[in-house]
Amino acid sequence: MNYTNQRTAYGNALVELGKQNENIVALEADLGKSTMSYMFQQQFPDRYFEMSIAEQNMASTAAGLSLTGKIPFIHSFAVFATGRTYDQIRQTISIGRLNVNICGSSAGLSDFGDGSTHQSVEDIALMRAIPNMTVFCPADANEVSKIVKTMAAIDGPCYIRINRNDYPNITAEDTPFETGKPLILKEGSDIAVFTMGIMGTKALEAAKALEGKISLKIINISTLKPLNAQAVIEAAKNCKAVITAEEHSIIGGLGSAIAQALAKECKPIEFIGINDTFGCSAHNYDELLEYYGLTAQAITDAAQKLYK
Amino acid sequence: MKREELIKELEAKAKILRRDIVEIVGVGLPGHIGGSCSAADIVAALYFHKMHIDPKDPKKPDRDRFLLSKGHAAIVQYAALAELGFFDRSELKKCKQLGAMLQGHPDYRKTPGVEANTGSLGQGLSIGLGMALGLRLNNIPRKVYVIIGDGEMAEGQIWEAAMAAANFKTDNLVAILDNNELQATGPIKERFNTYPIKPKWESFGWHTIEINGHDMGQIIDALDAADETKGQPTIIIAHTIKGKGISFAENVPEYHNGALTPETYQKALAELS
Domain boundaries, chain B: 3-271
Same domain for A134 and A188? no
pLDDT at B113: 98
Assign residue A78 the CATH number of its domain. 3.40.50.970
Residues B134, A64: C-beta atoms closer than 8 Å: yes
Confidence of residue B1 (pLDDT cuts 50, 70, 90): confident
Distance, CA of A162 to CA of A35 (rounded, Å): 8
A64 touches chain B (CB under 8 A): yes
A61 closest CB neighbour out of B61, B130, B135: B130
Looking at the domain assignment, is residue A175 inside a domain? Answer: no
Domain stop point among A168, A198, A214: A168
Residues A185-223: tens digit of each pLDDT: 999 999 999 999 999 999 999 999 999 999 999 999 999
A184 touches chain B (CB under 8 A): no
Domain stop point among A168, A195, A216: A168
Stretch B86-96: mean pLDDT: 98
Percent of chain A's residues with pLDDT above 70:
99
Residues B13-64: tens digit of each pLDDT: 999 999 999 999 999 999 999 999 999 999 999 999 999 999 999 999 999 9
Looking at the domain assignment, is residue A174 inside a domain? Answer: no
Mutate to test the interface with B, among A24, A58, A60 (most CBs of B within 10 A): A60
Q: Please choose, from the candidates B166, B180, B176, the residue with its C-alpha nearest in 3D space to the C-alpha of residue B144.
A: B176
User: Do A77 and A106 meet the contact criterion of CB atoms below 8 Å apart?
Assistant: yes
Residues B176-189: tens digit of each pLDDT: 999 999 999 999 99
User: Helix crossing, A141-153 with A6-20: angle to 10°?
Assistant: 40
Confidence of residue A2 (pLDDT cuts 50, 70, 90): low
Interface of A with B in 227-266 (CB under 8 A): none
Same domain for A118 and A48? yes
Same domain for A268 and A158? no
This prediction has a pTM of 0.97
A88 touches chain B (CB under 8 A): yes
Q: Which residue of chain A comes nearest to B173, CA vs CA? A: A64
Sheet containing A24-28: order of strands = A48-50, A24-28, A71-77, A101-105, A158-161, A134-136, A223-225
A268 touches chain B (CB under 8 A): no
A96 closest CB neighbour out of B65, B117, B163: B117
Domain stop point among A168, A191, A217: A168
Q: Which domain holds residue A106?
A: 3-168
Q: How many domains does chain A have?
A: 2
The listed CATH number (3.30.930.10, 3.40.50.300, 3.40.50.720, 3.40.50.970) that belongs to domain B3-271 = 3.40.50.970
Same domain for A125 and A217? no
Distance, CA of B153 to CA of A1 (rounded, Å): 55
pLDDT at A73: 98
Distance, CA of A57 to CA of A60 (rounded, Å): 5
Distance, CA of B125 to CA of B142 (rounded, Å): 16
Work out the burial of residue B59: count CB atoms within 10 Å of its CB; fewer than 13 is exposed, 13-18 middle, 19 or more buried. exposed
Chain A residues lying within 8 Å of B128, measured CB to CB:
64
Same domain for A210 and A163? no
Q: Which residue of chain A comes nearest to B111, CA vs CA? A: A96
Work out the burial of residue A103: count CB atoms within 10 Å of its CB; fewer than 13 is exposed, 13-18 middle, 19 or more buried. buried
A54 touches chain B (CB under 8 A): yes
Looking at the domain assignment, is residue A70 inside a domain? Answer: yes
Residues of A labelled as active-site residues? 55
Same domain for A157 and A205? no
Distance, CA of A298 to CA of A195 (rounded, Å): 13
B131 closest CB neighbour out of A25, A67, A88: A67
The complex scores an ipTM of 0.96
Question: Strands A216-220, A183-186: parallel, antiparallel or unpaired by DSSP?
Answer: antiparallel
